[in-house]
Structure 1
Amino acid sequence: MSTARPDPTGVDEPGFRDALRTLPSRVWIISLGVLVNRAGNFLPVFIVLYLIERGSSAGAAGLVLGVSGVGNVLGNAAGGYLADRIGRRWTIVLSAVPTAGLTAIVPYAGPFALVVVVVGLIGLTSQIYRPAAAAVLVDAVTTNRQRLAAFAVFRAAMNIGAALGGVIGGVLAGTSYTWLFLSNGAACLLFGVVVAVLLRDGPPPPPDQHAEDADPPQVGYRRALADRALVRFLLMTVVAEFVYVQSTVGLPLHVSDVGLTARDFGFLMGFNGLLVLLLELPTTGAVSRYRPEHVLAIGNLLVGIGLALSGLGTTLVPLAATVLLWTLGEMITSSVAYAYLGSLTPPGMVGRYQGLHGAAYTIGTGAGPILGGAAYTLGPWALWSLIAAAGVVSAYLALPRRWGR
């Protein structure tokens, strides 16, 4: 079981703004690299459109996404192991360089089977960096507030990169898919260069007094999964991500069913993105004074209620109100979840804990479209009821148990 547990926010800790100002350079370097990577990460968004344009069926495109999703889970697990074994810096480089080369191959991969293999490998290699990047942030700070501030900056960089990537990718896709994927590869390579040149791994963590140095399994995934607080957090992540991904599954289906247009759905998604870009950082600062488990519970509940209420909206204004509600929940939980996981992690296990979190996140987002689509086929009421129930479950799983206090 982990030796570190969340400490109550003490009066001696700096405020959130002070924590932002005192963040180490490594936090800003990795955030800059992730911004570049996300701004050029076009393949996950445009691969379906590319495959359909080259004559593949919707089922074939779904197969490619499924293989990529399996690669995502494996990539997070591998990345967590490598981050603890060879260090954060070289794990990120090992992820970025192969991903760059594989992505550049996509427009030249002729047979569909080859596309499946290449995109599946990209799904794996592109996720290896994630546990290592999160581990850099955990390593770089010493207090709970600093940890939360570091992940808030990291999330802001990801959001800005994603917003830029949507615009740039749309322009490139309208010009040439070849240039789209070559630009994606170049962005991955630049990410690797930024990390290789600017980032240095921090000092090694102090030895874990509860682990036997001569027993390798004591610092492996088996030991991590013996931590009941971590397992509860991972279950919460799977359920919460299943709920959140319905914003791209159940919500567009409902928008279409009530007679609204794709442009209306785009407005709702743009409203969500604008709120996150403008308000997530100050929202994170506002909740930083509260116990993270309670913040996560409230945030998960807001996401579940907000998305469940979408089923009652038949025009744009009430649907926009529900978007405001579940986006507030998203902003409350996003950085807090990463920071809370960091506080659970014992020395020498940061990469593995982050790798398991990434795998849980991927499982939730991967299962969400399948289960959500099946529930909606049964009846829209089934999906909205399932979302509401899952929102309550994820909120319950966020709350501390007696043995976790």
Structure 2
Amino acid sequence: MHGLRRWWDDTAGGLPATFWYLWSGLLINRAGAFALLFLSLYLTAARGAPPSLAGLVVGAYGIGGAAGTLLGGVLADRWGRRATLLAAHLAAAGLMAALAFSTHLAVIAALATLVGVAHSMPSPAFVAAIVDVVPEARRSRAFNLQFWAFNLGMAVASLLAGILAEASFTALFLVDAGATLAAAAVIALKVPETLTRRPALTPRAVVGRRPGLHTALTDRTFLVFVGLTFLLAVLTMQTSTIMPLAMREDGLRPSAYGLVVALGGALIVAGQLFVPRLIEPYRKSSVLAVSTGLMALGFGALTVADGLPLYLGAAVVWTVGQMLAAPPNAQINADLAPPDLRARYQSVFYLTFPAASFVAPALGGLSLEHLGERHWLVVGALGLLAAAGHLLAGPRRERRVAALRAAAAKPVESVR
């Protein structure tokens, strides 16, 4: 019992109540965000759209997501975290309800784009609020729990989506809207505004530029980290974009692909809570190098995979890499951001994921077509490149974080 209590303290102890309400809102949001998983099927089966048009509509959702990420970052630093979260959730709920009863494909496409904006706006505000309220020493465990909640919510969403889609697409959208409203209620009732208007430091003193979104977009130390995260995201996206095609070429059925994906999700849900204690003694750059190297090894192993057991074994390796990478990746992102620009930095960071969701299938499809199984050697090489990049960039990141902390310890008048 003592060991269990110590594990719980190391995993989730010492976190403020506001964090847990944010965590609950995120979990409810993810568990209910399932309608878009079946958007392409809805368009083709219920609205008679050809697959090409369905793909364009789903792509429009992704474009809206990129815009929403930047908009959410700017608003979270100007309006506040709570106001941005509430506006985004309420807008998403209304748009999902409108989608439930829309029949014209042009209207559905426009609504899908706006839903992409509303769904992406909360991400920078959620992370910025967590950084606002969680002491620095406990942020790693907070981000680990955030990653765990996200994956647990997605697992629940996948299960519920399949059940509701078979019953009614209208119900699918309406239940999604209801879950979004429930998340908004938690935020409205329990989450205070976490943005402090008191100046903490002058970003110009650390990054050499006046504050604003362009500060993040021209911050070389931060952009190197974003670029390395982009490579990690390209690797991660292989599982949902290129791997299904490779498995089909190996003669495996869709159910085999589902089993590989389910294994990864199960490992994260079962094991993610043990990660913070495991990685705590090591430097973040070293952990990221090891984790990215494991992902490179896992995906590179698909070069020789021709049956389900090898795919499952490789999935274990790259999933462990993903699990190890999540807490330090999020914490470094938070540490590199000046306090006055936290959400803006988060929004630039989160752009890596829609970018990777475009690049991974676009270039990966060409690579698989022309290189065949050697495509996975290219993917593995990208992972090793990212691992080396973390080792090389780590010292400069640490010096930058130390400079930000020193500036925060001596507050000066902020320039806005």
Corresponding residue pairs, total = 388
**Residue equivalent to 1:90:** 83
Residue of structure 2 equivalent to 1:5: none
Checking the alignment, whether the CA contact within 8 Å between 1:76 and 1:358 is kept in structure 2 is yes
Alignment match, 2:234: 242
Secondary structure of the equivalent of 2:192? Answer: coil
Displacement after TM superposition at 1:114 (Å): 1.2
How many Å apart are 1:212 and its aligned residue? 6.9
1:66 alignment partner in structure 2: 59
Report the CA distance shift for 1:155/1:267 in structure 2 as closer, same or farther (over 3 A).
same
**Which residue in 1 is equivalent to 2:193?**
201
Contact 2:11 2:274 in 1 (8 A): no
Q: CA deviation at 1:398?
A: 2.3
Question: What's 1:321 paired with?
Answer: 313
* Superposition deviation, residue 178 in structure 1: 0.4
Q: 1:127 aligns with which of 120, 142, 147?
A: 120
Aligned to 1:11: none
Runs of 4+ in 1 over 4 A off after TM superposition: none
- Specify the code of the residue in structure 1 equivalent to 2:379: I
Match of 1:25 in 2: 17
- Secondary structure in structure 1 of the residue aligned to 2:120: coil
Segment drifting more, 254-263 vs 79-88: 254-263
* Amino acid paired to 2:264: N
1:142 alignment partner AA: P
Aligned mates of 1:283, 1:177 — CA distance in 2 = 38
Structure 1 residue 129: deviation in Å? 0.6
TM-score of the superposed pair, with normalisation by structure 1: 0.91
Q: Secondary structure at the match of 1:126?
A: helix
**Residue in structure 1 matching 2:34, options 42, 49, 53:** 42
> What per-residue deviation string (whole Å, max 9, x for no partner) do you get for residues 103-147 of structure 1?
111132222111111101100111101100001111112224x01
2-side partners of 1:290 and 1:398: how far apart? 14
How big is each residue's C-alpha offset from its partner over 1:354-390, in whole Å with a ceiling of 9 and x where there is no partner? 1111112221123212111121122323521321121
Cα distance change, pair 323–368 in 1 and its aligned pair in 2 (3 A): same
Residue 349 of structure 1 aligns to a residue whose secondary structure is helix
Matches within 5 A, 1:210-229: 210-211=202-203, 218-229=210-221
Q: Does 1:117 align with 2:105?
A: no
Q: Is the 8 A contact 1:16 1:149 kept in 2?
A: no
- State the SS of the aligned residue for 2:252: coil
Q: Distance in 1 between matches of 2:72 and 2:199?
A: 21
Aligned residue in 1 for 2:402: none
- Larger relative contact order, structure 1 or 2 (CA cutoff 8 Å, min sep 6): 1
Aligned pairs (5 A) from 1:360-399: 360-399=352-391
Corresponding letter in the other structure for 1:150? A
2:197 and 2:294 map into 1 onto residues whose CA distance is: 37
Which of 350, 354, 364 does residue 358 from structure 1 map onto? 350
1:284 aligns with 2:281: no
C-alpha distance after superposition, 1:339-366 (max 9, x if no partner): 1111112121110111111112221123
**Alpha-carbon distance in structure 1 between the residues aligned to 2:367 and 2:385:** 18
Within a 5 Å distance, the mapping from 1:262-281 to structure 2 comes to: 262-281=254-273
**Which residue among 131, 138, 141 is the counterpart of 1:138?**
131
Q: Which residue of 2 aligns with 1:6?
A: none
User: Cα deviation per residue 1:66-108 (whole Å; 9 max; x = unaligned)?
Assistant: 2111111111101111111111111001110111111111132
8 Å Cα contact 2:11/2:277 also seen in 1:
no
Is the 1:206–1:347 Cα contact (8 Å) retained in structure 2? no
Residue 75 (structure 1) aligns with: 68
Question: RMSD of aligned C-alpha atoms?
Answer: 2.0
How far apart, CA to CA, are the structure 1 residues paired with 2:58 and 2:195? 39
Gaps of 5+ in 2: 1-5, 400-416
* 1:36 to 1:349, Cα distance in 2 relative to 1, 3 A: same
When structure 1 is superposed on structure 2, of 152-161 and 23-32 the one drifting more is: 152-161
171-180 vs 355-364, which moves further: 355-364
**Map 1:159-170 → 2, pairs under 5 A:** 159-170=151-162
CA distance in 1, matches of 2:221, 2:382: 19
Q: CA deviation at 1:263?
A: 1.0
Q: Which whole-Å CA distance do the structure 1 matches of 2:264 and 2:227 have between them? A: 25
Structure 1 residue 208 displacement after superposition: 4.1
SS at match of 1:348: helix
Structure 2 distance, partners of 1:380, 1:211, is 48
Which whole-Å CA distance do the structure 1 matches of 2:164 and 2:195 have between them? 42
- Cα drift, residue 403 of structure 1: 3.8
Q: Report the TM-score when normalising by structure 2.
A: 0.89
Which of 285, 290, 297 is the aligned partner of 1:293? 285
Identity of aligned residues (%): 29
Change in 2 beyond 3 A, CA 1:344/1:188:
same
User: 1:257 — aligned with what?
Assistant: 249
Q: Secondary structure at the residue paired with 1:399?
A: helix
